[in-house]
Each structure stands twice: as structure tokens, then as C-alpha cells.
Structure 1
Amino acid sequence: MIITSDDPEYIAFVKARLCDQFLMSDLGPLRYFLGIEVSSTSDGFSISQEKYIQDLLARAALADERTVETPMELHVKLHPTDGDPLPDPTRYRHLVGSLVYLAVTRPDISYPVHILSQFVSAPTTIHYGHLLRVLRYLRGTITRRLFFPRSSSLQLQCYSDATWANDPTDRRSLSAYCMFLGGSLVAWKTKKQVAVSRSSVEAELRAMASVTAEVTWLRWLLADFGVSVTTPTLLLSDSTCAISIARDPVKHELTKHICVDAFYTRAQV
């Protein structure tokens, strides 16, 4: 149960009533929950999974102490047939599943985890090598955490991007976004698009439409929490063509196949 009131007397009253009905203990302020560590200071809150990473590295039993600067090599493209099939894929699946949960507090591994999770049904030695690189990256960045300042504003701001025809097997593009509430990172995602985009502009516009839907939902959620969001949400993209089409959808042969995403984004604006 989550109590959203900030009135200490009311919180104490609710906890007392719960104790009357259920066998429970008051553990005090939140510090550790399901592998997520929470620390509070006068400046704000921090969440991390440092112990979770330590346990993950212990289970992985890496044979060396090396670290790397990035979780995945630049421009790497993995194929299902790369390398030799692993004789026992259980270890690969276990580690990737653990990384999926770790991405809850580590947006910097969202992209490689998305890529590696596509091969859990039949991983190979090449895929496992890239998985070990992510673990070595985590070893060198184990103390990184997300910080949520108390003085942050309640202005939403989003960043959208896409990689065109990134997947070498089906040529579908990847959409990615991150959303900030003031100075706090509150949402992020990397996901393969459901359809093949015939141009980089189309891929970028699909990504913009996806994050626009998330922005709309988050604004409704903030309103339900009593947070007034009256100013427009800034959506940043590096595709000038996609921005131009979203601002003024033109019905002609080059854009009619993506006009739904264009008009949806425009309608929300």
C-alpha cells in the first residue's frame, strides 16, 4: 500500500488502523525494496541498485577484473547466426533477465539490454561476449544512481530519437525516448518499431508519435496526482524533416503512408 499524503499525523493514523487489521511491522523510512536502494538527503532522493549489481557480478563469475567505458560497441549489429550456439543457454537467459530488472534504475544500459534480449531463445558465443561487456561496464559504473532533487520544477521535457533500419534481420527501426520532470529523469524506453520504416524521417516520426502518447498519459497521471501542468511539454528531436511534417502534415505521395502518426502528433500539439 502506498500512502501519498504528506501529513505525518494522517500517515500515523493509517498505519495504526492497518496494524489493527493485519499483522505488520513499521520498518521506518524506505531504504531498500526489491533490490532497489533509496537514500534521502536534504537535497533530494537517490535510487540505485549497487548491491544488486554486486550480486549479479558474483553470479556471473567473470574471470577477470577488467572494465569498459561503454556498455556496447559503437555501430555494432548482431545477427541471430553470429558465433556458435551456446550448449546451455540458461546462464545467458538468467543474466539478461537480471539486466532487464536492473534497467529500472540504469537507463544507460537500456539499449544494449534491448538488443541482447532478442537472442534469449537461441544465444550464441558472440551474443554472450557482448553480454559480458555490459557486465564489465557495470563493474566500472557500479556507484551510478538516479537523483531526484527536492527543488526540481514540474515542467515536463522529452527527448526523442530513432535509428533507421537498425535491425539487420528485419530492417525495423528502433525508437527511443527519455522524459524529464524538471531535472529528474522519470521515464525512458528503447523499443523496436512494429513496422518497417521506408525512410529515416518515417522512423523519427514514429518515434515522436510514440513519445507523444507517453507524454499525454503522463500529463493525465500528474493531473490525477493534483499536479497542475498548464504549460506545453517540450519535445526535442534531431530530425528537422520529422519536426516539419509534425508541424504541418502535407498530403502527398511522400508522406501519406505516415500521415496518421503525423496528424496524431499534430493533434496533441
Structure 2
Amino acid sequence: MIITGDDSEYIAFVKARLTEQFLMSDLGPLRYFLGIEVSSTSDGFFISQEKYIQDLLTRASLSDERTVETPMELNVHLRASDDDPLSDPTRYRHLVGSLVYLDVTRPDISYPVHILSQFVSAPTTVHYSHLLRVLRYLRGTISHRLFFPRSSSLQLQAYSDATWASDPSDRRSLSAYCVFLGDSLIAWKTKKQTAVSLQVQRLSCEQWLF
């Protein structure tokens, strides 16, 4: 069980009462939980999944040590019919599933992971090559972490954006947002819109005059 707060006496009281009812051990400050690493400093907290990424790269069995600066190339529009289907999609599905969990601490891969996860039912060699690019990006940015400062305002700010009919298969747009509590990034998501965006032609007043 994880107990949070800054009242040390009350935390000690809660742990004592829990010990009376359950068999439990006090493991001290949180360091590692479900693949997420937590480190504390006088300025705040860092969370990351560096070990998880290392294990993921090992499972992927990349044959080179290359890195890339971005997780996905600009203006890439993947289709279900791109190139030949993979003879065994098991590895693709496993790696994409691992990236979905990694998105918990890596908002910078949210967009490509959303795109690649759309093809888990029938991935192709092209989809797999873009998946490997994400892994090479992670190799070069393995030490990236999220920081939550101790001293921060409670002002809530949200930012959002959307593409325009970017999916070539169904002409749907993608929406994305991120939410900050003070200086801390606390939520983010990339999602395909449920409705199809239609372009509306705007006519000037002069076109209605005869």
C-alpha cells in the first residue's frame, strides 16, 4: 500500500493501524512500483521507466545501436494496406502493448503509439518499421523523466490541438490534449475523433447578389 501526505505523525498512525489488521511490511519511501521508478529530491519528484525501456529494448532484439531524434517522421500517414502483412504479428502486438504502458510516463510517444496501436490486428512490415523507429527514439532518450516540483501553484491549465482529416482510411481527425497542474504535467491523451470532419464551403455575400 502507498500512503501519501506530509503529516508524518498521521502517516505513522495509519501504518500502525493497518499493521494491526493486515500482515504488511514498511518498505520505506516509494522507489519502484509496477515498472515506474520514483526518485525524490529537495526540489520535487521524478518519475520514469528507464529500466522498463531497457527491458523492452532487450525483448525487441534490435540488431543495431542507432538512435533517432523523433519517434515518428513528419507527415506520415499509415494505412492498413501498407506493404505485406507480417507472417507472425505476435512480436508487434507485444511491443505495442508495452509502449501503451510506457505512455504512462512518456507523453512524447503518445501520438505514434496511438497510430501504431490501430494496426495490431493485422500489422505489416511498414508498420513494424515505424515501431522500430519509436524504439530507437526511446534508446536515445532513455533518461527522460517527468518532474513534479514541490513548490507549484494549483492553477489548472489545459492545451489541445487537432489534425484535419489526417487518417487516409476514414478521413477522421486526431485530437490531443495535455493538462498541467501548476508546472506539473498530470494528464495527456491522443485519440481519433468519432465523427468525420467535413469541409464547409463558405460563400461570400457577393455570390448571392444577382
- Residue 63 of structure 2 corresponds to which residue in structure 1? 63
Displacement of 1:5: 4.1
Is 1:105 equivalent to 2:109 in the alignment?
Answer: no
Displacement of 1:156: 1.0
Greater relative contact order (Cα < 8 A, sep 6+):
2
Quick one: distance in 2 between partners of 1:159 and 1:22? 44
The residue matched to 1:25 in structure 2 has which SS?
coil
Cα deviation code 1:14-48 (max 9, x no counterpart): 11111111111110000100000000000000000
Is 1:164 equivalent to 2:161 in the alignment?
Answer: no
Displacement of 1:147: 0.3
Distance 1:8 1:155, change over 3 A: same
| Unmatched runs of 5 consecutive residues or more in structure 1 | 201-269
- Residue 90 of structure 2 corresponds to which residue in structure 1? 90
The residue matched to 2:63 in structure 1 has which SS?
coil
When normalised by structure 1's length, the TM-score is: 0.73
Q: Which amino acid aligns with 1:59?
A: R
Identify the structure with the greater helix proportion.
1
Is 1:81 equivalent to 2:81 in the alignment?
Answer: yes
Quick one: distance in 2 between partners of 1:166 and 1:126? 18
- Residue 190 of structure 2 corresponds to which residue in structure 1? 190
User: What is the total number of aligned residue pairs between the two structures?
Assistant: 201
The residue matched to 2:114 in structure 1 has which SS?
helix
Quick one: distance in 1 between partners of 2:149 and 2:50? 20
Cα deviation code 1:137-196 (max 9, x no counterpart): 000000000001111111111111000101100001000011111111111010000110
- Is 79-88 or 111-120 further displaced after alignment? 79-88
Displacement of 1:2: 4.7
**1:175–1:193 CA contact under 8 A, matched in 2:** yes
Is 1:10 equivalent to 2:13 in the alignment?
Answer: no
Identify the structure with the greater strand proportion.
2
- Residue 174 of structure 1 corresponds to which residue in structure 2? 174
- Residue 19 of structure 2 corresponds to which residue in structure 1? 19
The residue matched to 1:187 in structure 2 has which SS?
strand
Displacement of 1:4: 4.5
The residue matched to 1:108 in structure 2 has which SS?
helix
Displacement of 1:6: 2.5
- Residue 30 of structure 2 corresponds to which residue in structure 1? 30
Segments of 4+ in structure 1 off by > 3 A? 1-5
| Unmatched runs of 5 consecutive residues or more in structure 2 | 201-210
Q: Which amino acid aligns with 2:88?
A: D
Quick one: distance in 2 between partners of 1:3 and 1:122? 43
Quick one: distance in 2 between partners of 1:23 and 1:102? 32
- Residue 116 of structure 1 corresponds to which residue in structure 2? 116
**1:164–1:199 CA contact under 8 A, matched in 2:** no
Displacement of 1:199: 3.8
Distance 1:35 1:169, change over 3 A: same
